[in-house]
Amino acid sequence: MKKIKISWLALKNLKRKFIRTFVLLLLVAVVTGTLLSATIFISGMQNALRIGTYRLGADVLVVPEKNESQAKAALLSGEPTSFYMDGDVYDKVKDVEGVKRASTQLFIKPTSFTCCYNVETFLVAFDPSTDFTVTPWLQKKLKKPLADDEVIAGSAMPLMTDDIIPFFGTPFNVAGTLEPTGMKFFDQSIFMTMQAAFEMAEKSKGRSVQPLELEKGKISAVLVQVEDGFTPERVAIRIEHQIEGIKAIASDEVTSTVRRQLAGLLKGILLISAILWILALLMTGFSFYMIVNERQRELGLLRAMGATKTHVFRLIITEAVILSLAGGIAGIVAGGGLLSVSKAVITRNLKLPYLLPSLPVLTELAAGALIFAVITGLLASLLPAVFASSMEPYDAIRKGE
């Protein structure tokens, strides 16, 4: 130490009243942590809702009329199944009023010879160019579009990226894995492109003991997302009315109930966070007012030694910044911990799809929380700092008696 620095002085001051510093730090930590985890939770829920409907992954599912019960079993309990209809159903569905997006899928039930794992696997071929139900669950974005020799594995599959798994005699590279969704349909499935499925079927004739009977151009289902202002039920009725031989299954009532409950929950969390924040602001502000008040003489002495108003202002503000920075970091760490615990609980108990925002977004949110904490500290200490720096030195020294 050569010269004394103001930041060093601020640190020494904070250590002086250790308990008070600790309590304030804890307060900032709690507020930051709550706010951050609430934000992440909310954006996670919004992510999940944006992806599509809670169980089906779509508002309406269009399947062959005679396979309705199989389709429901596949989607609700992930039971492997196979059924096919003509590909032109997709073009017809797309044009129905109220349909915002549509994407095709092909369900393939692998034979026991094709897979070497104990877990019951369901093969699903999808169209990556129109898909809105599968890829949003990806743990990490794929580096490049899914190739025809690649698959995506559900979270319950004992597979990792770059593993190789054969189906019907054709080996596939695992290009990515999905987040746990709480839905067997996603968690216990392997996803590949439509093109890959057709090629696999073609090759299976020569390679596989039990070849896959799949005609090119066939599909199993069309998944539909409806436009805002349309209910799934209405669009489903329209589709059934306009297209022959199909069944349009609307997402059940559960979805909208869940959405409503969630909205209420989010509002509650936001309200609590806001109240907590105002409380923290007031408490920190009051504490800093006390800090300044009981140190009046000392601050006056600093002025007598040649500290300018700016020096005094900086000293108080620096104390607040150090405090809120430390509190903010503690809060982010604690909030992160809380979140990873709650993630498991939410997915398991509520059976709600729950998606954590991506790492860059998480980093951004954490940085935002830190900035927020520091701003809180700055706000709380601003008035006390102004008050401290505007005192006349002689007055400050006298009043401190």
Ligand X SMILES: Nc1ncnc2c1ncn2[C@@H]1O[C@H](COP(=O)(O)OP(=O)(O)OP(=O)(O)O)[C@@H](O)[C@H]1O
- Beta-bridged to residue 250, according to DSSP, are 60
Q: Return the number of the residue (213 or 392) whose C-beta is nearest another protein.
A: 392
Q: Return the number of the residue (300 or 327) whose C-beta is nearest ligand X.
A: 300
> What is the x/- site pattern for another protein, positions 1-30, by CB under 8 A?
xxxxxx--x--xx-xx--------------
- Judge whether 262 and 97 are in contact, CB under 8 Å: no
Q: Return the number of the residue (134 or 391) whose C-beta is nearest ligand X.
A: 391
Rounded CA separation 401/399 (Å): 5
**Is residue 20 a contact point for ligand X (CB under 6 A)?**
no
Region from 273-281, 284-292, 301-309, 326-334 binding another protein, contact rule CB under 8 A: 301-309
Q: Which residues are within 8 A (CB) of 311 and not within 5 positions of it... i.e. 6 or more apart?
A: 6, 302
- Judge whether 235 and 96 are in contact, CB under 8 Å: yes
**Minimum distance between the CB of residue 12 and another protein, rounded to whole angstroms?**
5
Angle between helices 296-304 and 309-345 (to 10 degrees): 130
Residue number of the CB atom closest to ligand X: 398
**Minimum distance between the CB of residue 304 and ligand X, rounded to whole angstroms?**
15
Phi first, then psi: give them for residue 61, nearest 5 degrees. Answer: -120, 125
**Residue 97 binding target from another protein, ligand X, none, CB below 5 to 8 Å by type:** none
Hey, what are 37's tokens?
Answer: 């985890």
**Residue 280 binding target from another protein, ligand X, none, CB below 5 to 8 Å by type:** none
> Which of the residues 129 through 188 are near ligand X (CB under 6 A)?
none
Pick the closest to residue 352 from 231, 244, 257 (CA basis).
257
Residue from 106, 302, 329, 373 binding another protein (CB under 8 A): 302
> Which of the residues 57 through 86 are near another protein (CB under 8 A)?
none
**Is residue 267 a contact point for ligand X (CB under 6 A)?**
no
Region from 43-51, 86-94, 136-144, 293-301 binding another protein, contact rule CB under 8 A: 293-301
**Minimum distance between the CB of residue 328 and ligand X, rounded to whole angstroms?**
40
**Is residue 398 a contact point for ligand X (CB under 6 A)?**
yes
> What is the x/- site pattern for ligand X, positions 357-396, by CB under 6 A?
--------------------------------------x-
**Residue 386 binding target from ligand X, another protein, none, CB below 5 to 8 Å by type:** none
Q: Over the range 46-58, which residues count as b (16 or more CB within 10 Å of their CB) and which as e? A: ebbbebbbbbbbb
**Is residue 395 a contact point for another protein (CB under 8 A)?**
yes
Q: Return the number of the residue (77 or 310) whose C-beta is nearest another protein.
A: 310
Q: Return the number of the residue (315 or 332) whose C-beta is nearest another protein.
A: 315
| Contacting positions for another protein (CB under 8 A) | 1-6, 9, 12-13, 15-16, 298, 300-311, 392-395, 397, 401
